[in-house]
Amino acid sequence: MQKGKKIYEGKAKIIYATNDKDLVIQHFKDDATAFNNLKKAKIEGKGVLNNRISEHLLTSLKNCGIKNHLIKRLNMREQLIKKVEIIPIEFIVRNIATGSLSKRLGIQEGTKLDNPLLEYCLKNDDLSDPIISKEHIYAFNWSSESEIKEIDKLSLRVNDILSGMFKAINIKLVDFKLEYGKYWNKDKDRFELILADEISPDTCRLWDEKTEKKLDKDRFRKDLGNIIQGYQEVARRLGIMHEETNIKEVSFSRPTSIKFKKK
């Protein structure tokens, strides 16, 4: 597979073309941003960890029948993925109230929700990804009723699978963000809805079951320190990283040594 030119650069990832028009390469950067780009840093090793964690989670989901864009991980920072047309919506699933939900509605932080709560946000940095209703989605043709129905079902299934996986390693899956895209299936001659983007401590809130210690991007958002250690802890508990791995805390382009277990 030949790597072609850069076709998109986002806050945490870069997409490169390949010599196959249906496939692209997703590169995970060490850059972290929060509060709509107001807070920025380079977190050495974050891209490597997110690449590996997302590969593990998307592969596990695929094994449970959730179609997604991942073909294979190519190296420490890159994955070969299906080229999709991304639906311009962030699909949020919440099990415990925190973050923008608590802020917006005054719900006590840490309140366990009786049922998973689905929210939709428009992917638009200039507007700070505002929350929207299904009616907005249909009114402005961001997605169709049948797609949203399918996505809601898929997101709840993803929540069930991931909650179980994390529970087994004593981590609470508090909430997360999913993105979906449409992929042209040549064999079926039609577009197919598949899970896209990444699932990692950048896109999920993950709390230690007992201590409720945050093991995710909130360590960066809230200046809690030991950011990379949180991500490493997730990788270690998922069984994809050697115990002796040691990445230093936030720094600027120092060489990183991370060892992963062979599959």
The least distance separating ligand 5GP from the CB of residue 192, rounded to whole angstroms, comes to 24
Longest dimension (CA), the chain: 53
The least distance separating ligand 5GP from the CB of residue 227, rounded to whole angstroms, comes to 13
CA distance 112 to 102: 12
The DSSP secondary-structure symbol of 38 reads T
The least distance separating ligand 5GP from the CB of residue 92, rounded to whole angstroms, comes to 5
The least distance separating ligand 5GP from the CB of residue 71, rounded to whole angstroms, comes to 22
Q: How many Cα atoms sit within 13 Å of 31 on the Cβ side?
A: 13
Residue with Cβ nearer ligand 5GP (226 or 245): 226
Residue with Cβ nearer ligand 5GP (70 or 199): 199
124 contacts 86 by C-beta, under 8 angstroms: no
Residue nearest to ligand 5GP (CB): 99
Residues that bind ligand 5GP (CB under 6 A): 90, 92, 99-101, 129, 175-177, 202-205, 217
Residue with Cβ nearer ligand 5GP (123 or 254): 123
Residue with Cβ nearer ligand 5GP (222 or 259): 222
CA distance 180 to 185: 15
The least distance separating ligand 5GP from the CB of residue 77, rounded to whole angstroms, comes to 17
Dihedral, CA of residue 55, residue 56, residue 62 and residue 63, to nearest 10: 150
Return the SS3 of 37: coil
The DSSP secondary-structure symbol of 66 reads -
Residue with Cβ nearer ligand 5GP (21 or 123): 123
50 contacts 231 by C-beta, under 8 angstroms: yes
